[in-house]
């Protein structure tokens, strides 16, 4: 079954100064506050029909049924004043009993610019030839653009996936900041936990956690720390990488590995429970922090990061306001751990 084409609009814009317009205030002084709503209802009827509405006794009667203590004569009188004050075109109202205006027709063409064929009846057209031709030209341009886009899609179907991957890689390395973004992405995978706390007082805990993470891999070091090799050979440089040990005599030379040798530590509830707040005299609610983290079922890995970032639940941290927001959302926040970490930055 063919789809019926809709001629009118589903909605239309209204100026913010509609009630403050000088002409509207004059009509309201004579006919009361209902005049603004009656005129707005007539404009809505015009947009619902397209860009005009034909008025008669039946139209006035139907429109008056929408208002309290307003007769068909009142609606006819109010719309007559609106025509007199220029809200609608006086010639078309007098000759064809039609309510329309230049603004209505211009807005209608703008709102329907994406439709395939939109035209205004020459008998009711109040726009200039330039405005009408400009609208027709924009419709043709959009149609040509859609055809060109469809043709590009057909041409691009022959491009292999490998070519697309190579193309993205080329773009990624050509931008100056792409290297920094790639480094940040790698570090975020290798170091998911925070290295410092904005609240202060947790430097020892951060250092301890970094040392524990370095001990898991066996050869990871922090930038700038020099770390002696077991054989007394190479040391870590300021770039955070570890130089490979010299190959033994008589053995084939091996290509140095560029992959990171450290493994990500998986924190457990026992590890989180073993953390102890520093004795720096700051007011904390560490027990309440742990209770809230477990209530929202936040993973231990994120619990550890939140504990350090919030300085072990220091009083006044934005984290506490975040717990209130989580409860008020009633489950709409799907990742509460990520949300709490965003408050700790």
Which pLDDT score is estimated for 57? 94
Q: Do 115 and 123 touch, CB atoms closer than 8 A?
A: no
Residue 195: pLDDT band with limits 50, 70, 90:
very low
pLDDT digits (tens, 9 = 90+) for 47-92: 999 999 999 999 999 999 999 999 999 999 999 999 999 999 999 9
Which pLDDT score is estimated for 151? 53
pTM, two decimal places: 0.41
HSE (side-chain half, CA atoms, 13 Å) at 10: 2
pLDDT higher than 60, residue 127: yes
CA-based diameter of the chain, in Å? 110
Which pLDDT score is estimated for 114? 85
φ/ψ region of 194 (left if φ > 0, alpha if ψ in -120 to 50, else beta) reads beta
* Residue of 75, 32, 68 whose CA lies nearest to 53: 75
Eight-class DSSP state of 2:
P
Name which residue leads in pLDDT, 38 or 145.
38
Beta pairing partners, 235 = 228
The backbone torsions φ and ψ at residue 187, rounded to the nearest 5 degrees and listed phi first, read -65, -35
Q: Do 8 and 50 touch, CB atoms closer than 8 A?
A: yes
CATH fold of 22-131: Arc Repressor Mutant, subunit A (1.10.10)
State how far the Cα of 123 lies from the Cα of 92, in Å rounded to an integer.
9
Q: What is the mean pLDDT of residues 298-320?
A: 89
H or E segment at 99? strand 98-99
Which pLDDT score is estimated for 41? 95
Q: Do 106 and 127 touch, CB atoms closer than 8 A?
A: yes
pLDDT higher than 70, residue 35: yes
pLDDT digits (tens, 9 = 90+) for 199-253: 444 445 445 544 554 444 443 444 444 443 434 444 434 444 444 444 444 444 4
- Residue 277 to residues 30, 282, 287, Cα–Cα distance (Å): 75, 10, 10
State how far the Cα of 30 lies from the Cα of 43, in Å rounded to an integer.
20
Spatial CB neighbours of 90, under 8 Å, sequence gap ≥ 6? 83, 84
- Residue 236 to residues 219, 226, 231, Cα–Cα distance (Å): 9, 5, 13
Where exactly are the structural domains of the chain?
A: 22-131, 184-225+264-345
Which pLDDT score is estimated for 67? 92
Residue 319: pLDDT band with limits 50, 70, 90:
confident
In the chain, alpha helices (H): 22-31, 34-49, 57-64, 72-84, 90-96, 102-111, 129-156, 161-174, 178-190, 203-217, 269-273, 286-295, 300-309, 318-329, 336-342
């Amino acid at each position: 079954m063919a789809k019926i084409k809709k001629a009118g609009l589903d909605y239309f814009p209204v100026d913010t100064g509609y009630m403050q317009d000088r002409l509207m205030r004059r009509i309201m002084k004579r006919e009361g506050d209902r005049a603004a709503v009656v005129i707005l209802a007539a404009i809505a009827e015009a947009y619902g029909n397209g860009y005009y509405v034909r008025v008669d006794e039946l139209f006035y009667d139907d429109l008056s049924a929408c208002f309290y203590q307003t007769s068909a004569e009142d609606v006819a009188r109010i719309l007559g004043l609106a025509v007199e004050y220029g809200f609608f075109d006086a010639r078309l109202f007098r000759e064809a009993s039609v309510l329309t205006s230049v603004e209505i027709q211009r807005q209608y063409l703008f709102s329907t610019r994406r439709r395939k064929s939109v035209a205004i009846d020459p008998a009711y057209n109040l726009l200039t030839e330039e405005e009408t031709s400009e609208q027709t030209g924009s419709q043709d341009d959009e149609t040509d653009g859609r055809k060109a886009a469809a043709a590009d899609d057909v041409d691009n179907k022959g491009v292999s996936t490998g070519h697309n991957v190579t193309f993205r890689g080329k773009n990624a390395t050509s931008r100056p900041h792409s290297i920094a973004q790639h480094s940040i992405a790698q570090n975020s995978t290798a170091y998911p936990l925070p290295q410092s706390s904005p609240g202060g007082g947790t430097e020892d805990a951060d250092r301890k956690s970094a040392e524990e993470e370095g001990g898991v891999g066996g050869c990871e070091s922090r930038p700038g720390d020099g770390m002696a090799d077991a054989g007394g050979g190479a040391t870590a440089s300021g770039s955070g990488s570890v130089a490979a040990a010299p190959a033994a005599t008589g053995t084939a030379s091996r290509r140095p590995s560029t992959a990171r040798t450290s493994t990500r530590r998986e924190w457990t509830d026992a590890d989180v429970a073993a953390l102890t707040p520093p004795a720096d005299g700051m007011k904390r609610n560490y027990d309440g922090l742990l209770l809230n983290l477990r209530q929202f079922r936040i993973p231990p890995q994120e619990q550890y990061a939140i504990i350090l970032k919030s300085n072990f639940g220091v009083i006044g941290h934005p984290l506490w306001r975040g717990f209130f927001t989580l409860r008020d959302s009633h489950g709409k926040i799907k990742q509460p751990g990520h949300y709490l970490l965003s408050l700790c930055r």
